Amino acid sequence: MVRLVVASRLKPLLHAPARSSAAAISCGNLSRGLCSFRGGSRIVIQTIPNAGLVLGSSRRRIRAMAYNGKQFPTQTQTSQPGKEHEMDPAPRLRPYQGANKLKGKVALITGGDSGIGRAVAYLFSIEGATVAFTYVPGDEEKDAEDTVDIIKKNKCSDAKDPLKIAMDLGFDDNCKKVVDQVVKTYGKIDILVNNCAEQHMCENFEDIDPSQVERTFRTNIFSYMFMARHALKHMSEGCNIINTTSINAYKGNSTLIDYTTTKGAIVAFTRALALHLAPRKIRVNGVAPGPIWTPLIPASFDETSVELFGEKTPMGRAGQPDEVATSYVFLASEDGSYFSGQVLHPNGGTPVNA
């Protein structure tokens, strides 16, 4: 199979059926997604708008790469949680039509500079929410600036300009500082999205580094509890919290044991906090994505794992952040008004049990 990826202003996905003998492909009117081909290999044509196009670039950018049957090109990154601007291809953000579902709301998103967090911030802002987001100090500065630009160029006119906050959320005092800064800037918090995460592969559990375990727990579950604890002091009836867990909490992962454990804890935390806050009419829900193309992937896995990432799902591919972010819009808006203590599963068709 040959996969041809075209990054442009085109529609998202076109699959061409297999033909016989030697592969040959010629692309005609790409703006209409038309293609003629003959011969051999299975041809998959996939169009992905890159961040520059979402930013409103006046130039049309077209980039084509043959992956030779792999899901993604060979790549790795050396720091957690990874850099979106170094990914190839860049995660997708499709054009989105808002309906004022979050008009007048203030949303605080942790890990909002890239991946799922960026996609959630993007959709929330189009739906009318004013967005504040956190990111890891240092390496994530460019991604954070890119996210600010994306929001400014696409947000609903009623939404205020976004606020980016560099902070290590593994410590309670830092989480309080973030909440205080958001409230000082916007006066309130209506929606808290706990989304920051890190993960580290470990082939042999006996070799796991205790400092890594502590770091993973501080980022993935301690921060969720600390952020909720402080944000709730400013939340009232009708507000809601959304926690990002993972398919790994339900299916397990033999090489991400500490990460998987934190994601299971997030599910339990979501259910318990939902019961605790039900009398206050504050909803708490979760989203458990499957394999999604985010910076965590090249920052966590070896080259072979990256190349084949997502191919074992029933849909045969990894998901894109914008395919997950709509779950957060649903849960944050009145569309999800009867949902609390629940977890949504955008995972490419993998059945999971509660």
Torsional sign, CA 35, 41, 47, 52: negative
Q: Which residues contact 37 (CB under 8 A, 6 or more apart)?
A: 16, 19, 23, 24, 25, 26, 43
Q: Which two tokens stand for residue 26?
A: 């010629």
Using alpha carbons, select from 338, 341, 189 the residue that is nearest to residue 276.
Answer: 341
Residue 318 · residue 215 · CB < 8 Å: no
Helix (H) or strand (E) holding 54: helix 51-54
| Active site (catalytic) residues | 259
Token readout for 30 is 């790409």
Supply 48's token pair: 């992905």
Q: What is the DSSP string of 138-155?
A: TTTHHHHHHHHHHHHHHS
- Hunting for tokens 């580094």 — which residue is that? 209
How many angstroms separate the CA atoms of 66 and 266, rounded? 39
- The sign one gets for the Cα dihedral 342, 348, 349, 354 is negative
DSSP assignment string, 224-263: HHHHHHHHGGG--TT-EEEEE--THHHH--TT-HHHHHHH
Residues in the chain, how many? 354
> Judging by DSSP bridges, how do beta strands 13-15 and 35-38 pair with one another?
unpaired
